[in-house]
Structure 1
Amino acid sequence: MSMQAPSPLATFRDLFIGTIVEDERDRLSPAVGYGLSLAEAAGAHVTILSSSWCLVGTDAWLQGTGDPGIGIVDRRLDALARAFAENAAGAAAQAGLVCTWETPCLPYPEVVHRLAAEARLHDLTVLDLDPRSEVLSRETVEAALMASGRPVLAVPRTHPAFAGRRILVAWDGGLQAVRAANEAMPLLRAAETVEIVSVGDADDLLTTVPGAEFARHLARHGVAVTVSDLPQAGSIADTLRKHAVRVRADLIAMGAYRHSRTRELVFGGVTRSLLMDAPVPLFLAH
């Protein structure tokens, strides 16, 4: 009797799910549902950091106001973050997952730094990508990428559960794209189809690692891969967005911040644009 081969996703042995509560209206963390369903598919250990952004201690003038309302808000946010973690831990237990969790209440920017430090200790970090808290969620993703050396899955609210049948690899031949694709290898091997997508005039793309040559590398790992060169329609980010919707992609794997974050802030960039409006979850590596 032959034994069934383990899923390629089993390479992910520990997943970190991070969420930050900054508003009492927060009632949903897509990262939690997505991360738990991915961990269940992988059979991975789960660590949940459900943080709240406290106001007391953030600024000296707030500490001196003596306004009891600030402390009340902090306690409510802390309770909400704890409820998130307890519910997630309960769902993990029902799925048979080993789960540890913590609910720190920290001022800004310590709340972001704490999350980024924890990301170093895991194979993959799953984070919220929420347009309602655009600055904080984008900064959290950036900090985890730049400070941990580990990949990040940024999850928009439209995708509360993991799916990975069809994956796009955004390709420009550069270092970050190569790293993202290799970090995402367990997901690519488990997918039904993977499409390497290059956007724009071929003369504008880096030629050190052409997509067709990299496709052979993926195929040797058992990835069902195709290669597409797309004409640029609008910005590169717009082209990727439209293509992801058209082919019903479940995920985009891409290198993050090929240029410096400062340059992307001033001139715009693919990473920043997609973080602001992601049609599907983004698997990011830098």
Structure 2
Amino acid sequence: MAYKSITTFVSSAAELEITLPPAIDFAERQDAHLSACLLGVDMTPAGGFYMGASPLLLQETLERAQADAESLEAQARKKLDRSGLRWSAESAVVQFGGLPGLVGLRARFSDLVIQVRPYGREALPTQEAAIEAALFEGQSATLIVPETGLGPDFGKRIVVAWNQSNEALNAVRRALPLLKQADLVNIVVVNPPVHSPERSDPGGLLTQMLARHGVRAEVSVLAKTLPRVSDVLMRHIADTSASLLVMGAYGHSRLREAILGGATRNVLENSETPVFLAH
């Protein structure tokens, strides 16, 4: 498998400036087609306006969303025209509550979705919603890029967060084209369970599977010496100068992670390294 159909979803001019350059960079590296979906999002609450409100107000919000989408499409086309890529760009207007359906439909026919990190001072609610929609409704692997972009060493040293879950295994399978191109893949197991089926050889079966694909992989078993598993992962990434983290997304429910936190949310909030996710 190769990444030949890549999609990105953008809903603001600031997000466009951060998201499109690394998406173009990645598509060029993979000789892939890049589809940019430029969104005008109507943030009207799901219940709409209160009874008796003028229909002109609803029309105004829709027209504003349409204008935003068309403006973003024009900006995106200028950038893509200069890239030399095979590309397409289209604008779409959607209410915030309908965003998962629109993103999911387009993401499910993509090999990979590329989005910017969804947390920070300038982040919009649509950014997190688009990522979750791509992962859940679209069942697409998603590459989350920090504001600094991919970096010159992207994909040379990769850390795989391995906890034997279905989500982690799916992420490894979807990331296989990148793993095969890497100089070194480091499978990281944090505090392996004592009674796990892999207790005698943590990560051994995964290493064996990857070796048959020509992937150079090694295993690091780490103690949870910091409060969160995500902290251990990010410290290890820094210590080994890794340029990509591959991990399963949302092993717990999205609601639980939103309220109590979790490895996926904590990594996305704090990582300065690109993160490859699959659910």
Please report the TM-score for the alignment, with normalisation by the length of structure 1: 0.83
Whether 1:159 aligns to 2:141 is no
Aligned residues: 271
Instruction: Tell me the C-alpha RMSD between the 2 structures.
Output: 2.8
Residue of structure 2 aligned with 1:227, choices 219, 223, 239: 219
Query: 3-state DSSP class of the match of 1:194?
Result: strand
Distance 1:29 1:198, change over 3 A: farther
Which letter maps to 1:149?
Answer: Q
Task: Judge conservation of contact 2:103–2:134 (CA < 8 Å) in 1.
Answer: yes
Q: Where do 5+ consecutive residues of structure 1 fail to align?
A: 1-9
Is 1:113 the counterpart of 2:87? The answer is no
Match of 1:5 in 2: none
Q: 2:11 is paired with a residue of what secondary structure?
A: strand
Partner of 1:14: 5
Deviation at 1:145, TM superposition (A): 0.4
Query: Does the alignment pair 1:185 with 2:173?
Result: no
* Identical aligned residues as a percent: 27
What is the 5 A alignment of 1:12-91? Answer: 12-21=3-12, 26=14, 28-55=16-43, 59-61=48-50, 64=54, 74=65, 77-91=68-82
Match of 1:4 in 2: none
- Matched AA of 1:250: S
Q: Which moved more, 1:118-127 or 1:161-170?
A: 161-170
Q: Unaligned 5+ residue runs, structure 2?
A: none
- Taking the aligned partners of 2:213 and 2:232, their CA distance within structure 1 comes to 28
Partner of 2:261: 268
3-state secondary structure, aligned to 2:19: helix
Give distance in 1, aligned partners of 2:194 and 2:87: 49
Q: What do the CA deviations read for 1:103-149 (whole angstroms, capped 9, x no partner)?
A: 11322122343122100111111112232226432222111101112
Give the conservation status (yes or no) of the 8 Å contact 1:56–1:71.
no
* Aligned mates of 1:81, 1:263 — CA distance in 2: 34
Contact preservation (8 Å) 1:167, 1:252: yes
- Of 125, 129, 134, which aligns to 2:113? 125
> What amino acid is the match of 1:87?
K
2:221 is paired with a residue of what secondary structure?
strand
TM-score calculated relative to the size of structure 2 = 0.85
SS at match of 1:11: coil
Cα distance in structure 2, aligned partners of 1:57 and 1:269 = 28
Contact kept, 8 Å, 2:40 with 2:68, in 1: the verdict is yes
Name the amino acid aligned to 2:137.
A
Q: Is the 8 A contact 2:162 2:187 kept in 1?
A: yes
> 1:37-63 deviations in whole A, cap 9, x for unaligned?
111111111111121223579732597
Structure 1 distance, partners of 2:269, 2:43, is 25
Shift of 1:184: 0.3
Name which of 125, 139, 144 aligns with 1:149. Answer: 139
Q: What corresponds to 1:282 in structure 2? A: 275
Aligned to 1:255: 248
Amino acid at match of 1:124: L
For each residue in 1:187-238, what CA deviation from the matched residue of structure 2 results, as whole angstroms up to 9, or x when unmatched?
Answer: 0001111110111254286738931221111111111111101121220011
Contact 2:9–2:130, Cα closer than 8 Å, also in 1: no
AA of the residue aligned to 2:269: M
Q: Which moved more, 1:138-147 or 1:205-214?
A: 205-214
